Structure 1
Amino acid sequence: MVEHGVESSAVSEERTEPISQSEMDARIKSMRMHEPEFPLDDRMVPLDVLQLEEHHHRQNIRLLVRPLTKLHNTRSVSPDGSDNCQWLALRAEVASADQPEYKVLAVTQTSKDIKFSVRIPGESQHEFPRPPLWCELYYDPASDKVVFLNKSDVPISLLVASHTPLASPPAEATRVINPGLAKALKPGTWRIKVHDIAVLDFRILEKRPVTIYQPFPVQNEELSSGTPRSHQTGSSIKRSLTPDDDEKRVKRRTSDAVSDLDDGAVMFLRPGGDASDSLVFPLPNARDTREVTLSNGQPLLDASKGETVAVSGVCELDEYQLTKQEPIASTVLSAVYTANHSRVPEDIVTVKVLKTRVANPGDKPLVHERNVIRQADMWLRECQSQEDLQHRSIVKYYGGDARFLSLYMEHVDAQDLTAVPRWRDQVSDEFHGSRADAVRILRDIGEALSYLHGRDLVHNDIKPANILYSPDRGAVLCDFGLSTPAAKAPSGGGTPYYVPPEFIGRKLRGPASDVWALGVTMLYVMRKIPFPDGRARRRHARPLYWQIAGINNPNIPYRQYGNGQPAANQMRDWLVEMFEARDKLNSHDRLERVVKEMLTPNPQHRITMARVVQELNGGQIQSVG
C-alpha cells in the first residue's frame, strides 16, 4: 500500500481557519481511488522521460511512483481515500501520438502533507521471497530535496534510474539505506530494490515556485501624467523583485469598476467579491516592476517585513496570501512573527515557522536528514494537538501549512513572562509583576492545563516563555510543539529547569509533570526565585544547565554544559534549590500553599490541575500586596 502522510484531524466549525478543516475533510472523503488494472512491463520507459504538462505542474505534483512488482490484494492509495494521489497516463517526451501511455501514480503535496509513505507487503509464495517494504519520503520545506527514511527491517538499495542527463541524481549510482537511517535525495529518478528484487521506481520533481511581492510607493508624477484611472490607485500596491529589469508586472487592488479598465490590464475578482475588491494585473511592460520566484529556499522565512508571499495550491483551500509584519522571536528551531493572512477575517495572525537546518558540505552524516524529519514530526504533532482546542486561556489555532512547516494562530496582544523590561528585570532576572498578576496567571493557566489534562493531553513544555500575559487579557498558554497524548509522554525534550524529579531514573513524564513545571514557573512569578533559565549563562555565579537526554544516559557529553558536571548531578543540585524554595512557602497563605502542593516530590501525591482549579475557585485568594 502506498499512502500519503495526511494528518488526522477532527472537523472544526471555526470559520476563521485559513484552511477550513471541514471543507478539506469533505473533499477527501468524497474521493476514493483504486489502483487501475494494468500489466507490469519490464520494457516500460523510465519515469524521467515521461511528459508532464503545465496543468500537472499547477497541481504541485512532487513525486511520480510506479510499482515494479505485482501487489496482491493491495490498493496503492491513502487508507482513507485522498485527492492528493492520482493515476496519470503520461507519454514519453519523444513519443509519437500512436505510442502508448504509461500509467503512474502522481503524488501531490498539499498543505497537510509532510511526507509520503510507501508500504508494500512481503511476498513469500514466490520463487524469490521478498520481505515487506516500508519507507517514508519527507518533503524538505527549504529545498527540492526529499528525505528518504528506511522504516523496514532490512536494508534498501537505491539505484539511479534516470536516463536523461538533466534528471540524473548526482553522486554514486547505488546507495544502501540501512534500517532506521535516512538520505536526502535531489530531484531525479530512483529505483528501490530489496534483496536484489526491484520493487518500485519513483521520480522526485522540482517544487512549484512561490512568488514574493514587495510593496513600493507610487510616484506623484505618475498620478498626474495621464495614466489610465485603473492604474492610479495608490493603496496596497505590491511588486516582486528579480535581477531582470525587463520583466515588468504589477499586482494591486483597484476601486475602479470593470468597465473602467483599459486594454493594458487584466482583472481577477476575489471569490464572492466585486470589482471594488479585485486584483489588477497590467500586461507585461506596463510598469517597471520585477518578480522573483523561489524554488529553493523558505519563502516564509526569506520574505522581509511588508512583503507578501502568494501561496498557490492544489485547490482553493490551499491558496492564500501572507504579508509579513513584525518579528516576535527567532531561535535556531523556529521563527515567530505577525502577519496579515488573507483567509483570516481578523487579518492579523501570529505565524510560527519551524526551521530546517541547511545542509552543508562539512556536516556530519545524517545531520540534515534528522533535522528535517524531527522538525516535520514536531509540526505534525503541534498541529494535531491544537486543532480541537477551544479554551480562552489557550491560543486559538487557525491552521497550518506542511509545505512550509508553518502554523497560523491567534495574535495575542501580550508579551511572554520572560519579556524584558515588561515582565523581567534584565539584571536581576526577577519578575516585575504583582501578587495579583501571580494569582491571575495561576488561575488562567491552571484552567487551561486542567482542560488539556481532561482531554488526556500533556503540554510537556510549561515555562515562563510559553505563557503570554497582560492584565487585560489574562494569561494564555502557547507553543504546543512538544504536546503528546498522556499515554505517550516523551522521554526527552523540554527545558531542563522544569523537568520533574521523577524523571531521574524512571523517566516519568505526564500530567503531573505539567503541574511540577507550572509550580517552578510560579516560584519565579511569585518572586521566590529569579528566572530559572538565567542559570544557563556562563557568567552566572552558579551556572547550571544540562541536557535532558543526559539525565539517564551518562554517555552523553556533559562537560561543556553548566558547571561541567554530569546532567543528573546538575539536575539534583537544581532540585535541592527548588525544595528549599518550596519549604519557605507559607502554608497558611492559600496561593503559596497551592504552589507548595504543586511541587510535591512524589508525583502520586502531587496535586492535580483539576484540584488546583478547585482550590483557587473554592475561596477567594487575596490579590493585594
Structure 2
Amino acid sequence: MVEYRAEPVEASEERTEPISQSEMDIFIRSMGMEEQPDPPPSDYQVPLHLLKVEDRHREEGIRLIFRPLTKISPRAVSPGGSNCQWLALRAEVASTEQPEHKVLAVTQTSKDIKFGVRIPRETNDGGAPRPTLWCELYYDPASDSVVFLNKSEDPIQLVLVSQTYLASPPANEGHTVNPGFPYELRPGTWRIKVRHVAVLDFRVLEKRPVTVYERQPSDSRELVLSSPSSSSDQINANIKRPRTPDRDNMRIKRRISDGVNKTDDSAIEFMRPGAADSLVFSLPNTRQTKVLTSNASHPLLDAENGETIAVSGVCELDEYHITPQDPIASTAQSKVYRGRHSQVPDNIVTVKVLKTRMAKPGEKAFVNERNLIRQAQMWERESQTQEGLNHGSIVKYYGGDARFLSLYMEHVDAQDLTAGPRWRSVSNDEFQGNREDAKRILLNIGEALSYLHARHVVHNDIKPANILYSPERGAVLCDFGLSTGTAKEPSTGGTPYYVPPEFIVNKSRGPPADVWALGVTMLYVLRKIPLPDSRRHVKVLYWQIAGIHNPNMPFRKYGNGQGAASQMKEWLRRVHETREKLSPQDRLERIVSEMLAPQPSQRITMAKIVQSLNGGQASLAA
C-alpha cells in the first residue's frame, strides 16, 4: 500500500450530523431499497467492471455504480441524496439466461457536486464489528475523475480492482487515504477496505461527451423552446420563439434517446409523460464543429466566443444551450462572461464558472484535489444562498449547474466600482463618481445587506469589485461565493483590506463585519482614500487573512515582509486616522464613521443606515 501524508482538507460547512431514522425511512421508501435482498457473498458476485453499462444508462447521466461487499441491511446505506436507483445489470458476456446483478446506480444531476456514502458501525453475528465507513466523492467538472474524501475516523484502503481508462494506475494498485484526506480516482472499479475489511465496491464511469456548435454568421435565429401543439403560449412567453422549418442551414447528426422524436433537421420533439402535447426544442442554426471529451476539457471554459455548447440533461426538459459572448473577468479561481442561455428570459445572462486546476510540478501533494473540493463547496454555498433571494439591489439568480460549477445570473448593464476609467481613475486610483453616486451606492447596498442580514446571511466579501453601479440602475450587489449563515464558522476568505478588527481578536465575522467592509468601501467612494486593493497599497501592505492566526504561514513575499497580524494592524491604524477626519456635521460622513466603529457592538446596523438615509422611514424595498 502507498500511504500519503499531506495537509487535510478544510472542514466543510455543510450538514454533518447523522441522518435521523425518519429521514432515512422516507429516503429508503422513495428508492424501494427495503425490498432489495441482501447481496450474496462476494465470491458469487460478478465484478462491477464486467457488468454491461448500456448507452441509455450513460444518457441518463449515471456516473457511479455501488455494491456492498458485506452482508448489511439496506438501512445501513446512506447515499445522501435521491439521485440513485437500484439497477439490474448483466455481465458483458452473459447469456440471457444468466441472472442479473443488482447495483446502486448514482446519477449526477445539475444540483450534485458530490455523492456521499455512510455505513455505520455494526457487529456481525459471531464476528468482529464492522468499522464505520464515511466517504464523499466529488465530481471533477474538467475530467472524468472523482475526488475521494475520507470522512471516517479510520484510514481507508482503496484498491483498483480493474481499469477502464488508459491513464489509470495498474490494477490491484492500492492507496491508503487517511482521515480528512482526499485522493483523485480515475474511471475504473475500486474497492474500499476499512481495517482490512472489504466493505464496498464502486465503479467510476466516464461522462458523456459534450457537443459544441458554431453558429452560422448569416443567421441570427435564437435558441428556442416552444410548445406548438398546446395552447400554453403564455407559459414562458418571454423565451419562446417560433419553430422554423428551414433545413438547409442545419447539417448535424445527433443521437436521440428513447422517447424523443426528431421532427425535422432544426428541432427535437420531446414527448412529455402523460401529456398529449409535446415540447419542441429547436437546435441552434449551427454546424457541429467539435465534440469535447470529458477526459481533459471543460466546455464552458474551453469553448470560443460565439460557439454554442449543447448541455444534456438527466431528463430532456433539463437540457439547455449556452453561447459564450463577451468576456467580463477572469482570475485563477473563476471566469465570468456574458452569454446566451436558451431557457432564461431574454436569453442574456452573466455566466460565472469556478475553475479547478491541475497540480503543477513541485507543488505539494493533493493541491488539485483540495482546490476542487473548496471550489465545489463554494459553488454550493453561492448557489444555495442566492436561490431564494429576491431584491432589486441583489443580482438575480437564474440557476446553476454542478456538472460545470457554473452559475447563471442576471446580466446587469453596469461596471463594478473598480472599473477604470468609468469609476476609478487610472492615474491615482480614486473614485470618479460624485456625492449623489456615493449616497445612492450606500443606500442601495445598505438595503441589500439589511435584506440579507434579516435572513441570517452574511456576505463576507463586501468590496468595490463586488458592487455593480450605474446611475440608471443603481448599485447591485454580486458574488456570494463566500457567504455564510450567521451561525456558521467565520470565513477566512476575501480581501484583507475589508476584514474588521474583531477578526484579529477572535476570528469574528458576522453582520457587523459586512457593515465594516462597506464602511471601508465608502471611504473610497467618498474619495477619502484610493482604492484599497490597488497596486499602490499591495506594494506596501498586503497579507493573507488566514495568516492572521497562523504564524507558520509564509508572508515574506507579501507587502512589507512583516507578519499578517502586524500588517493588518498598520492598515487598521490608517483607517482609524481617516475616520477621525470625517465630519460629524455631514450626515453621509457621520454614517460612515459609525460604520467604522472599532467595537462591533457599537457599530451601526444596516437597517439603521437605511432608515437614516430614508429620512427616518424604514425601507420597503425588496
The TM-score with structure 1 as length reference comes to 0.83
Alignment deviations for residues 111-166 of structure 1 (CA, whole Å, 9 cap, x no partner): 00000001001123552222211000000110011100000001000012127796
Change over 3 Å in CA distance of 1:274–1:482 after alignment to 2: closer
Matches within 5 A, 1:254-269: 265=265, 267-269=267-269
How much has 1:171 moved relative to structure 2?
7.8
Are the structure 2 counterparts of residues 273 and 33 from structure 1 closer, same or farther at C-alpha, using a change threshold of 3 Å? Answer: closer
Instruction: Sort the Cα spacing of 1:168 and 1:574 in 2 relative to 1 into closer, same or farther, 3 A.
Output: closer
Partner of 2:227: none
Aligned to 1:506: 506
Q: How much is the aligned-residue C-alpha RMSD, in angstroms?
A: 2.8
Structure 1 match to 2:597: 600
Q: Give how far 1:79 is off.
A: 5.6
Give the structure 1 partner of residue 333 of structure 2. 333
1:144 matched to 2:159: no
Paired position in structure 1 for 2:59: 58
SS at match of 1:309: strand
1:459–1:29 CA distance, 2 compared to 1 (3 A): farther
Tell me what 2:206 maps to. 206
Pick closer, same or farther for the CA change 1:507–1:92 going to 2, 3 Å.
Answer: same
Counterpart-to-counterpart distance in 2, 1:537 and 1:74: 57
Residues in 2 aligned to 1:281 and 1:519: alpha-carbon distance in whole angstroms: 50
Any residues of structure 2 matched to 1:351-430 within 5 Å, and which? 351-430=351-430
1:577 alignment partner in structure 2: 574
Count residues in correspondence: 554
Query: Are the counterparts in 2 of residues 34 and 77 from structure 1 also a CA contact under 8 Å?
Result: no
Deviates more, 1:398-407 or 1:290-299: 290-299
Deviations 1:33-83 (A, max 9, x none): 425114322221110010011111101111110011122361546566x2x
- Contact 2:306–2:325 (8 Å) recurs in 1: yes
Write out per-residue CA displacement over residues 259-291 of structure 1, whole angstroms, 9 at most, x where no aligned residue: 9x7xxx57524787898x844999xxxxx8643
What letter matches 1:589 in structure 2?
Answer: D
Q: Which amino acid aligns with 2:464?
A: P
Is contact 1:33–1:77 with CA below 8 Å preserved after alignment?
no
- Of stretches 406-415 and 154-163 in structure 1, the one that deviates more from structure 2 is 154-163
| 1:533-573 Cα distance to aligned partner (Å, 9 max, x none) | 015666x5xx1100001112211111000111111111011
**C-alpha distance in 2 between matches for 1:503 and 1:575:** 12
The one-letter amino acid paired with 1:335 is K
Q: Conserved in 1, the CA contact under 8 Å of 2:78 and 2:118? A: no
CA-to-partner distance for each residue in 1:383-428, whole Å, 9 max, x for gaps?
Answer: 1111111100000111110000000101111000000110001120
Q: Which amino acid aligns with 1:462?
A: I
Q: Is the 8 A contact 1:48 1:167 kept in 2?
A: no
Q: 1:157-199 CA deviation, whole Å, 9 max, x = no partner? A: 0012127796964487110000000100110110000011100
Distance 1:529 1:150, change over 3 A: same
Contact 1:326 1:338 in 2 (8 A): yes
Other structure's SS at 2:198 match: strand
Asked whether 1:98 is paired with 2:97, we answer yes
Q: In structure 1, how many angstroms separate the alpha carbons of the residues matched to 2:159 and 2:130?
A: 18
Matches within 5 A, 1:92-491: 92-126=91-125, 127-162=127-162, 169-170=169-170, 173-217=173-217, 230-232=246-248, 249=253, 265=265, 267-269=267-269, 278-279=282-283, 290-296=289-295, 297-491=297-491
- The separation in 2 between residues aligned to 1:498 and 1:125, in whole angstroms, is 56
Partner residue, 2:562: 565
Distance 1:426 1:451 in 2: 34
Structure-2 residue corresponding to 1:609: 606
Structure 2: unaligned runs, 5 residues or longer: 1-11, 16-26, 220-244, 256-261, 272-276, 618-622
Partners of 2:246 and 2:266 within 8 A in 1: no
Matches of 1:454 and 1:571 in 2, distance apart? 30
Instruction: Decide whether aligned partners of structure 1 residues 456 and 362 sit closer, same or farther in structure 2, where only a CA change above 3 A counts.
Output: same
Q: Matched residues in 1 for 2:290 and 2:141: separation?
A: 21
Q: Aligned residue for 1:243?
A: none
The 3-state SS of whatever aligns with 1:74 is helix
1:495-536 CA distance string (max 9 Å, x none): 100000011121111000000000000000000000000156
SS of residue matched to 2:214? strand
CA contact (8 A) 1:597 1:607 kept: yes
- Higher mean C-alpha displacement, 356-365 vs 456-465: 356-365
The residue type paired with residue 299 of structure 1 is: P
**Contact 1:168–1:189 under 8 Å retained in 2:** no
Check whether the contact 1:158–1:176 (CA below 8 A) recurs between aligned residues. yes
Q: Which amino acid in structure 1 is aligned with residue 401 of structure 2?
A: D
Q: Distance in 1 between matches of 2:586 and 2:145?
A: 58
Pairing 1:590–2:591 present: no
Distance of aligned partners of 1:75 and 1:346 in 2 relative to their CA distance in 1, 3 Å threshold: farther
Alpha carbons of 1:79 and 1:343: their partners in 2 closer, same or farther (altered >3 Å)?
Answer: same
TM (norm. structure 2) is: 0.84
8 Å Cα contact 1:458-1:489 kept in structure 2 = no
Structure 1 residues not aligned, in runs of 5+: 9-27, 220-228, 240-247, 252-257, 283-287, 621-625
Closer/same/farther in 2, CA of residues 580 and 112 from structure 1, 3 Å limit: same
Change (3 A) 1:571 1:199: same
Provide the C-alpha distance between the structure 1 equivalents of 2:163 and 2:147, rounded to a whole number of angstroms. Answer: 22
Question: 2: CA distance between counterparts of 1:163 and 1:476?
Answer: 50
Match of 1:308, SS?
strand
Rounded Cα–Cα distance in structure 2 between residues aligned with 1:164 and 1:494? 41
Contact in 1 for aligned 2:164/2:187 (Cα 8 Å)? no
Q: In 1, distance between residues paired with 2:267 and 2:212? A: 20
CA pair 163-530 structure 1, distance change in 2 beyond 3 A: closer
Contact 1:169 1:188 in 2 (8 A): no
- Are residue 545 (structure 1) and residue 545 (structure 2) matched? no
Query: In the superposition, relative to structure 1, how do residues 148 and 441 fare at CA in structure 2: closer, same or farther (>3 Å)?
Result: same
Letter in structure 1 aligned against 2:605: T
Cα distance in 2, alignment partners of residues 165 and 584 from structure 1: 65
CA, structure 1 residues 41+124, in 2 after alignment: closer, same or farther (shift >3 Å)?
closer
Task: Please say which of residues 291-300 and 521-530 is displaced more in the overlay.
Answer: 291-300
Say which SS state the counterpart of residue 599 (structure 2) adopts: coil
C-alpha separation between the residues in 1 aligned to 2:165 and 2:508? Answer: 54
User: Counterpart of 1:162 in 2: which secondary structure?
Assistant: strand
Give the match's secondary structure for 2:33.
coil
Q: Deviations over 1:289-308 (max 9, x none)?
A: 64323323110000111011
Letter in 2 for 1:338: R
